[in-house]
């Protein structure tokens, strides 16, 4: 449609919140457009390091590959 801007953000509120926290537009859009949010209700301490790593990757936490389980938990909680 010429002249009409299409909005491709699924969760506008989450997108704006992420941008307000300093995340760049592309990264915020990827997170806000995630189809299947994390529904794992277990505390982080009960999850494996691999599960925490995957969650950190989904969110876009830098340095996650060098983090141990406790560091990943801290990073996830502070993000």
Convert the pLDDT of each residue in 19-38 to its tens digit: 999 989 988 888 888 766 55
- CA 34 to CA 37: how far, in whole Å? 6
What pLDDT, on the 0 to 100 scale, is given for residue 1? 46
* Residues 9 and 33: beta-carbon distance below 8 Å: yes
Asked whether 52 and 69 are in contact (CB, 8 A), the reply is yes
pLDDT at residue number 9: 86
pTM, rounded to two decimals: 0.54
Within the chain, which residues score under 70 in pLDDT? Answer: 1-7, 35-38
Task: Return d(Cα 71, Cα 53) in angstroms, integer.
Answer: 10
Rounded to whole angstroms, how far apart are CA atoms 39 and 55? 11
Position of tokens 């801290």? Answer: 74
Mean pLDDT of the chain: 86
């Amino acid at each position: 449609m010429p002249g009409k801007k299409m909005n491709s953000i699924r969760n506008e509120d989450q997108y704006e919140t992420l941008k307000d926290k300093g995340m760049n537009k592309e990264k915020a859009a990827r997170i806000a457009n995630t189809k299947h949010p994390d529904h794992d209700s277990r505390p982080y301490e009960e999850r494996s390091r691999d599960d925490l790593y995957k969650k950190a990757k989904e969110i876009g936490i830098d340095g996650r590959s060098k983090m141990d389980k406790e560091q990943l938990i801290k990073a996830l909680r502070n993000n």
